[in-house]
Structure 1
Amino acid sequence: MNASLINTEILPFNATAYHNGKFVDVSEATLKGKWSVVFFYPADFTFVCPTELGDLADNYAKFQKLDVEIYAVSTDTHFTHKAWHDTSETIGKLQFPMIGDPTGAVTRNFGVMIESKGLAERGTFVMDPDGKIQIIEVNAGGVGRNAAELLRKIKAAQYVRNHPGEVCPAKWEEGEKTLAPSLDLVGKI
């Protein structure tokens, strides 16, 4: 990633996803109108990836309660996603769309393509309802992500969007005090 994607609008794309037993078309327009997580992972039928996707599946109701949709993306095809969903107990729990990106177009749009391998980095992107990226996290291939931490960050992003003039400090949890940046706070935190 050369330039920051924070507060930029997601780039146009068209893809096919496997979702709830069907193949469905997905585009950047699909992601707008509600909070969305685009969750890139290297490949189906691997090792860390199913643990991450299983963690998201176990917490999916909490994301839905926040009006957040999750889109898992790898450079596999939507057919491969279906096969993995049908053969893995962990992946069989997924209720969110799994976008196939065999051309790498979506992965490149978000700047997480490992060109030498044709695979995605472990990138997490959270978009607000306007389709603007509010959170980016990219992990090394061997480092899995945590759905609970992602939920905490989304709650903070939603709070800040709904409360102009306030910000959430480190480790902020829902219901805790926020900060209202001002000259009076400079050097006092």
Structure 2
Amino acid sequence: MSLINTEIKPFSATAYHNGKFIDVNQDSLKGKWSVVVFYPADFTFVCPTELEDLADHYAEFQKLGVEVYAVSTDTHFSHKAWHDTSDAISKVQYPMIGDPTHVLANNFEVLIAEEGVALRGTFVINPDGQIKVMEVHDNGIGRDASELLRKVKAAQYVAAHPGEVCPAKWEEGAATLTPSLDLVGKI
């Protein structure tokens, strides 16, 4: 069964955020758009390139009213140490959630149990706490924050314009489609 349109499950975790440890739970992800990005582990190779890319685009996410959360099965202490020692990770201003008990990785169905790490999973969650976009792939393949931004904008557009859908490669301001009988076979 897909997680699309399901509500996020309850959790309680600690995150490293702007020099402090903060509590985060399912309610933290409600009331606004959220992006949850799982990655395998701190102090690795592809992960810092992804988190740095998200950090470089963080202001754009914030302008859309979106909070970004990075999650790995490391602890919040490990996140702080990584933030303090890595040039790439020192740019991160969004919360980095520790999931050493694997509750979040299990809730979002991205845990590789035999390794104790998460797959690269990306989830866009609407203000009601429902998953609207999900992408999960092999840990050797890095993600692109600009493509994630495009998907967030499309999800927000569709939510604000019932009855309209965004075609492939849709960009903000481009034409959308209104599904109807008249449109069948004409695209």
CA shift digits 1:100-150 (9 cap, x unpaired): 000101110000000110000000000000000000011211100000000
Superposition RMSD in Å: 0.4
Q: Which amino acid aligns with 1:165?
A: G
Q: Work out the CA distance in 1 between the residues paired with 2:21 and 2:172.
A: 36
The partner residue of 1:151 within 149, 160, 164 is 149
The DSSP-based 3-state class of the residue aligned with 1:76 is coil
After superposition, residues 5-16 of structure 1 pair within 5 angstroms as 5-16=3-14
Unaligned runs of 5+ in 1: none
Q: Work out the CA distance in 2 between the residues paired with 1:10 and 1:188.
A: 38
Q: Does 1:44 align with 2:46?
A: no
Shift of 1:88: 0.5
Unaligned runs of 5+ in 2: none
Please name the residue that 2:66 is paired with: 68
Please name the residue that 2:183 is paired with: 185
Identity of matched residues, %: 73
CA shift digits 1:6-33 (9 cap, x unpaired): 0000000000000000000000000000
Q: Does 1:26 align with 2:24?
A: yes
| TM-score normalised over the length of structure 2 | 0.99
Q: Does 1:83 align with 2:65?
A: no
Please name the residue that 1:135 is paired with: 133
Shift of 1:163: 0.4
Q: Work out the CA distance in 1 between the residues paired with 2:137 and 2:171.
A: 23
Q: Does 1:167 align with 2:165?
A: yes
CA shift digits 1:72-109 (9 cap, x unpaired): 00000000000000000110110000000001011100
Q: Which amino acid aligns with 2:43?
A: F
Q: Which amino acid aligns with 1:114?
A: I
| TM-score normalised over the length of structure 1 | 0.98
Shift of 1:187: 1.0
